Amino acid sequence: MDISQISTFARARKIGKLFSEFRHRRVVRQVGVFRENTENVRNKEDNRGGDQRDTSVKPSRRKGDSLAAQRDQGKRQRIMGVSALVVLFVFGLKLWGSHTWTVEQVVLVALVASALTFCGLLWAFRFDVTRVGYMTVLPLPSLFVFGYVLFVELFFFQRFERIFEAVIFALILGVFWVILIIVFLTANVLNVATVKSLPLLQVAQTSSYMVSLFNIFFISFFIVNLGLQVPLTMALLFVVFWISIYLHISHFGIGTAVILYTTGIACSVSVVSWALLLWPVEMLMRVLLPTVVAYIGMGIVLHDVRKAMRPLLNWEYLLMVLFVLVILASRAVWGIGGNLWS
């Protein structure tokens, strides 16, 4: 074999080797494209399967949401029914002729209305109430109804002699019905908040703040108007102050400090009440300043828990106290039938 044949054979082997490498790369490229296409097809099938699964699950989820909405709607209807029943109970008392009742009978009727509220809300909540709810949630609206009945019987103690008097009282009860629905819905939020956190908790706490102030004003006004001896009056007022403040502060989750805060605020309000029992002013003015002091005390706790204390609040509280003091000084009777301005 001469040299020319050897070079031709080597050249042919080299060309064959290059052609083999080219075919190998082409096959590898085709396999990669095939695998990529196969994965894309599988992903599309998985997505279609996931969409089918989602569409099969969505009806059940919507069904569960509708059932929850129906339960909430049913609870709201029961709450409105209980509030209407309490309003009709109070209106029936006036038509029955409560002007002939003694103080003991009025207190007994108020206790019955309070028990009706407690049991009605227990039924409206379908008895789904925790131990904490029995102690701090249900007593709050019950005490509100108790104080309202006492206050109404004290102001509307006469028989309706004209039709417009009954109409006015019915309008007042209509407003009371709306307020009572708000109070009951507040109790519902506070009750649910005993087992889980809710975004409406702060709104319910603010509503509880106002309800507690109404309780203090209504019940203390009734007690002061009884004209009892000062030690007995102060003992009753302290109990009312302590319970009303405790039912509000207990929803802030501050542990055992609630007892300390409650006792401190109740003692402060009681001292102011004792001073005003000796002040020569009318009964309504004697419960106004203690209510303002309770407003300030509970407000400080409320803003402190929420980390929202601002210097502007201090000025607000100071101006409120000064305003009430000016009213008390102007309404006080000094000397023989005189006042500060005459």
Under a CB-based contact definition with an 8 Å cutoff, are residues 107 and 150 in contact? yes
Segment holding 334, helix H or strand E: strand 333-334
Q: How far apart are CA 89 and CA 83, in angstroms?
A: 10
CB atoms within 10 A of CB 245: 26
> How does strand 338-339 pair with strand 333-334?
antiparallel
Q: How far apart are CA 152 and CA 171, in angstroms?
A: 13
Question: Residue 118: what pLDDT?
Answer: 93
Indicate whether 39 pLDDT > 70. no
> What band does 162 get if pLDDT is binned at 50, 70 and 90?
low
Query: How far from chain centre, in Å, is Cα 84?
Result: 20
Model pLDDT for residues 125-154, shown as the tens digit of each residue:
888 888 888 888 899 999 999 998 888 777
Q: Full-prediction pTM beyond 0.85?
A: no
How many CA atoms lie less than 13 Å away from 164 in the CB half-sphere?
Answer: 0
Question: Residue 149: what pLDDT?
Answer: 86
Indicate whether 249 pLDDT > 70. yes
Name residue 333's beta-bridge partners: 339
Residue percentage of the chain with pLDDT more than 70: 70
Kindly report which listed range (68-72, 118-122, 314-318, 322-326) carries the lowest average pLDDT score.
68-72
Under a CB-based contact definition with an 8 Å cutoff, are residues 279 and 332 in contact? yes
Q: How far apart are CA 253 and CA 93, in angstroms?
A: 39
Question: Residue 64: what pLDDT?
Answer: 44
Indicate whether 296 pLDDT > 60. yes
Q: Which tops the pLDDT comparison, 37 or 327?
A: 327
Summary mean pLDDT of the chain? 76
* Max Cα–Cα distance, the chain, nearest Å: 153
> Which 3 state secondary structure label does DSSP give 338?
strand
Query: How far from chain centre, in Å, is Cα 233?
Result: 32
Q: How far apart are CA 147 and CA 135, in angstroms?
A: 18
Range 217-234 burial, b when 16+ CB lie within 10 A, else e: bbbbbbbbbeeeeeeebb
Q: How far apart are CA 247 and CA 116, in angstroms?
A: 19
**Total number of residues shown for the chain:** 342
Model pLDDT for residues 76-118, shown as the tens digit of each residue:
888 888 888 888 887 777 666 555 677 788 888 889 999 999 9
Domain ranges (residues) in the chain:
215-342
Under a CB-based contact definition with an 8 Å cutoff, are residues 297 and 266 in contact? no
Sequence-distant (≥ 6) Cβ neighbours of residue 143 within 8 angstroms = 114, 215, 219, 243, 244, 247
Model pLDDT for residues 218-248, shown as the tens digit of each residue:
898 888 888 888 889 899 999 999 999 999 9
Q: Which tops the pLDDT comparison, 102 or 13?
A: 102
